[in-house]
């Protein structure tokens, strides 16, 4: 195996958000900017050949151009260095433009100290600083503009209408709106930077101001991850990666540079290589910390060759993933329906793995973030944008999203469903994101979501030769060889079994053989059989799947012989029986 050698690569180009900030300030004359996204990440600094925090990156980039002042709800007003503190106090308190009387310096220091744990006082102080800078400029003195960095802006200016805010929240918001929309401030060179993880936590009245702009700091892309790993490997030449460091850079999509650094530091100190499983675990840990347990990243190890039978269905899935490689032929979503236990998830994951797509699994969305829907959607979209081509799996999709048309659906759930529908229809995601909506009851899925799934693939229980092949192969893969007589017995006594039922039968067989190695399949079936309790429900699910089918050749022969009217009548009859 060739030895991986570290290259003496310098720290990468400056962070992209700095270019966006520069454009907004210099070309579009924005005086108020909200920075969200990867605000706790690491960013390249060519000045010191290192990767630094957001504030350090801004200090390195803006320190020579602005007088930087920082504020948050706990620490109050603070400065990045003593020189800036002296200059700001001089501009605010000097009587002759040069010297500051000791009494005024002391008073200013006291005001700064009082701003600690008192955000309203801090804002009043900041506005006074901005007014002082304006007066000094009007007097003809050339000074660096003021740049005020407000951390945790969602805590300073929480989202909500005036009627929903507390008295102190309203006071802070009104003061800030009046100040940041003042023509004197808007027309001047001073700059307000609000920092928060998500935009939805910050009051929308601020982001709606004409002078405001929003910059979303994306998670590091492949080139940025590569630059960081190359930089780190310069001083850690013995560091090794499962599958190579290029593969690591690809798999680390969705991680911040800080998280990547943690993985590399751990491997360096423990003197072991970075495993792919470590990367997947860290990605899911990060997602769970921000979005809860409703989202998981998966790299399926099985492929189409592991799917037994379903040859026509497999060819359709293969074609779907191929056409989604190009934007012109791509579809936004596919609807995969069929009775419970049919293997919908297994097959979609297999073909996603073969196509090289990352699998993102969503579950339990509805109600999980009641009251935080906007934040959830913003974070979801932000994370999805980082990965390469992905398949988003939504199991039991009819329960995952509330209907936007139903009067029983809460407005928060309607907003979530509306946002998901918008994401499905987003042209920028076409070809990059494929939604796999799996459900046993597609009739209960919102029509707006179904309309964005032009391809609807039903998966039924196998019949005939494919079912024979499936049963035989299921046992063979577990080292159980059945003679023709046993296969006949199993086949005849399990005509109602789903793929999941057969998996459970094989597990029963393996468990029984631990105590009785010579036991036959027919003997196991005498003592255990899959429950028939949901036979009627599965028949209903099967018929409904037949009504949601883009490929008539996939329908079982017995259903092909039924007219649509007969299918609908049978569906209604079973529904009536189940409601009794």
Asked if residue 327 has pLDDT above 90, the reply is: no
Distance CA 244, CA 251 (A): 11
Q: How many helices (H) and strands (E) does the chain have?
A: 26, 14
Q: Does residue 213 contact residue 24 with C-beta atoms inside 8 Å? A: yes
Query: Which pLDDT tens digit goes with each residue over 100-109?
Result: 888 888 999 9
Reported as a single tens digit per residue, the pLDDT across 544-568 is 999 999 999 999 999 999 999 999 9
**CA separation for the pair 404, 410 (Å, rounded):** 9
Pick the residue with more confidence: 445 or 23?
23
- Tell me what the mean pLDDT of segment 62-67 comes to: 92
Q: Taking Cα atoms as reference points, which of 430, 324, 423 lies closest to residue 365?
A: 423
Q: CB–CB of 32/206 below 8 Å?
A: yes
496: exposed, middle or buried (Cβ count in 10 Å: 0-12, 13-18, 19+): middle
Tens of pLDDT, residues 209-239: 999 999 999 999 888 999 999 999 988 888 9
What mean pLDDT is reported for the chain?
87
Calculate Rg over the CA atoms of the chain.
31
Average pLDDT over residues 21-27: 94
Rounded to whole angstroms, how far apart are CA atoms 402 and 389?
27
Altogether, the residues listed in the chain come to a count of 580
pLDDT of residue 411: 65
Confidence of residue 12 (pLDDT cuts 50, 70, 90): low
How many of the other CB atoms lie within 10 Å of CB of 431? 18
Predicted confidence band of residue 580 (pLDDT cuts 50, 70, 90) = low
CB 469 within 8 A of CB 424: no
pLDDT at 372 over 90: no
Would you state the pLDDT for residue 387? 78
Give buried/exposed letters for 384-411 (b at 16+ CB in 10 A, else e). bbbbebbbbbbbbbbbbbbbbeeeebee
Q: What is the pLDDT of residue 407?
A: 57
Q: pLDDT: is 344 or 405 the higher one?
A: 344
* pTM summary value: 0.78
Set out the domains of the chain in order of their start, with CATH numbers.
16-217 (3.40.50.300), 222-274 (no CATH), 298-458 (3.40.50.300), 461-580 (no CATH)
Neighbouring residues of 277: CB distance < 8 A, sequence distance ≥ 6: none
Q: Report whether pLDDT(410) > 80.
A: no
Per residue in 165-209, pLDDT tens?
A: 999 999 999 999 999 999 999 999 999 999 999 999 999 999 999
Q: Is the pLDDT of residue 251 over 90?
A: no
High-pLDDT (> 70) share of the chain, %:
94
Average pLDDT rounded to a whole number, residues 366-383: 68
In our burial notation (b when 16+ CB lie closer than 10 A, e otherwise), range 56-83 reads: bbbbbbbbeebbbbbbbbeebbebbeee
Give all strands (DSSP E) within 371-444, no chain letters.
Answer: 390-394, 433-439
Rounded Cα gap, residues 252 and 561, in angstroms: 51
Nearest alpha-carbon partner for 543 in 564, 522, 514: 564
Q: Band the pLDDT of 364: cuts 50, 70, 90.
A: low
Q: How large is the average pLDDT for residues 281-310?
A: 83
185 vs 385, more confident:
185
- Give me the sign of the Cα torsion angle 459, 460, 461, 462: negative
Helix (H) or strand (E) holding 35: strand 32-37
Q: Is the pLDDT of residue 368 over 90?
A: no
Give the model's pLDDT for residue 133.
94
By mean pLDDT, which of 62-76, 164-178, 248-262, 362-376 is the weakest?
362-376
Contact 553, 355 (CB under 8 A): no
Specify the pLDDT at position 193. Answer: 96
Comparing CA positions, the residue from 436, 412, 413 lying closest to residue 424 is 436
Could you tell me if 177 and 206 are in contact, meaning their C-beta atoms sit under 8 angstroms apart? yes
- Looking at the predicted structure, is the pLDDT value of residue 123 above 90? yes
Answer whether residue 9 shows pLDDT above 60. Answer: no
At 128, the pLDDT band (50, 70, 90 cuts) reads very high
- Residue 79 near residue 70 (C-beta atoms within 8 A): yes
Mean pLDDT across the stretch 16-28?
A: 93
| pLDDT per residue as tens digits for the range 413-428 | 677 777 788 888 888 8
Q: What is the mean pLDDT of residues 383-404?
A: 79
Q: Quick one: how far is CA 139 from the chain centroid?
A: 51
Lowest mean pLDDT among 20-24, 532-536, 576-580: 576-580
């Amino acid at each position: 195996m060739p030895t991986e050698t570290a290259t003496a690569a310098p720290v990468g180009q400056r962070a992209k958000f700095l270019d966006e900030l520069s454009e907004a300030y210099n070309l579009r004359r924005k005086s108020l900017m909200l920075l969200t996204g990867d605000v706790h990440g690491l960013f390249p600094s060519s000045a010191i050949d290192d990767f630094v925090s957001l504030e350090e990156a801004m200090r390195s980039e803006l320190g020579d151009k602005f007088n930087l002042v920082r504020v948050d709800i706990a620490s109050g007003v603070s400065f990045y260095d003593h020189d800036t503190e002296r200059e700001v106090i001089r501009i605010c308190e000097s009587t002759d433009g040069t010297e500051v009387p000791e009494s005024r310096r002391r008073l200013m220091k006291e005001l700064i100290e009082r701003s600690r744990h008192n955000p309203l006082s801090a804002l009043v102080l900041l506005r006074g600083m901005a007014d002082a800078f304006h007066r000094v400029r009007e007097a003809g003195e050339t000074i660096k503009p003021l740049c005020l960095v407000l951390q945790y802006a969602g805590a300073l200016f929480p989202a909500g209408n005036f009627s929903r805010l507390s008295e102190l929240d309203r006071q802070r918001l009104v003061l800030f709106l009046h100040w940041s929309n003042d023509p004197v401030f808007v027309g001047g060179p001073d700059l307000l930077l609000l920092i928060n993880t998500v935009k939805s936590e910050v009051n929308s009245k601020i982001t709606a101001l004409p002078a405001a702009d929003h910059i979303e700091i994306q998670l590091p892309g492949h080139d940025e991850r590569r630059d960081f790993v190359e930089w780190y490997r310069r001083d850690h030449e013995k560091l090794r990666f499962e599958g190579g460091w290029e593969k690591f850079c690809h798999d680390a999509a969705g991680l911040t540079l800080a998280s990547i650094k943690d993985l590399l530091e751990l491997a360096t100190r423990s003197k072991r290589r970075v495993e792919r499983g470590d990367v997947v675990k860290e990605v899911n840990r990060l997602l769970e910390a921000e979005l809860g347990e409703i989202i998981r990243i998966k790299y399926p190890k099985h492929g189409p060759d592991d799917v037994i039978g379903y040859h026509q269905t497999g060819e359709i899935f293969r074609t779907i993933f191929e056409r989604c490689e190009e934007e012109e032929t791509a579809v936004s979503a596919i609807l995969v329906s069929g009775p419970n236990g049919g293997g919908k998830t297994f097959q979609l994951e297999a073909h996603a793995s073969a196509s090289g797509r990352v699998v993102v699994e969503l579950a339990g969305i509805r109600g999980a973030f009641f009251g935080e829907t906007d934040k959830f959607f913003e974070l979801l979209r932000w994370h999805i944008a980082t990965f390469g081509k992905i398949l988003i799996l939504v199991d039991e999709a009819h329960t995952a999203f509330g209907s936007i048309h139903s009067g029983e659906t809460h407005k928060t759930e309607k907003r979530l469903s509306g946002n998901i529908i918008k994401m499905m229809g987003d042209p920028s995601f076409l070809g990059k994101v494929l939604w796999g909506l799996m459900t046993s009851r597609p009739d209960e899925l919102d029509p707006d979501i179904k309309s964005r799934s032009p391809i609807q693939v039903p998966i039924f229980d196998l019949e005939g030769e494919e079912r024979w092949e499936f049963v035989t192969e299921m046992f063979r893969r577990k080292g159980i060889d059945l003679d023709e007589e046993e296969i006949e017995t199993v086949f005849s006594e399990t005509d109602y079994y789903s793929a999941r039922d057969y998996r459970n039968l094989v597990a029963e067989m393996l468990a029984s053989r631990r105590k009785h190695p010579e036991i036959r399949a027919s003997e196991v079936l005498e003592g255990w059989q899959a429950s028939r309790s949901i036979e009627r429900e599965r028949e209903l699910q099967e018929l409904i799947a037949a009504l949601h089918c883009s490929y008539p050749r996939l329908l079982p022969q017995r259903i092909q012989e039924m007219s649509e009217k007969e299918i609908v009548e049978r569906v209604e009859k079973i529904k009536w029986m189940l409601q009794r």
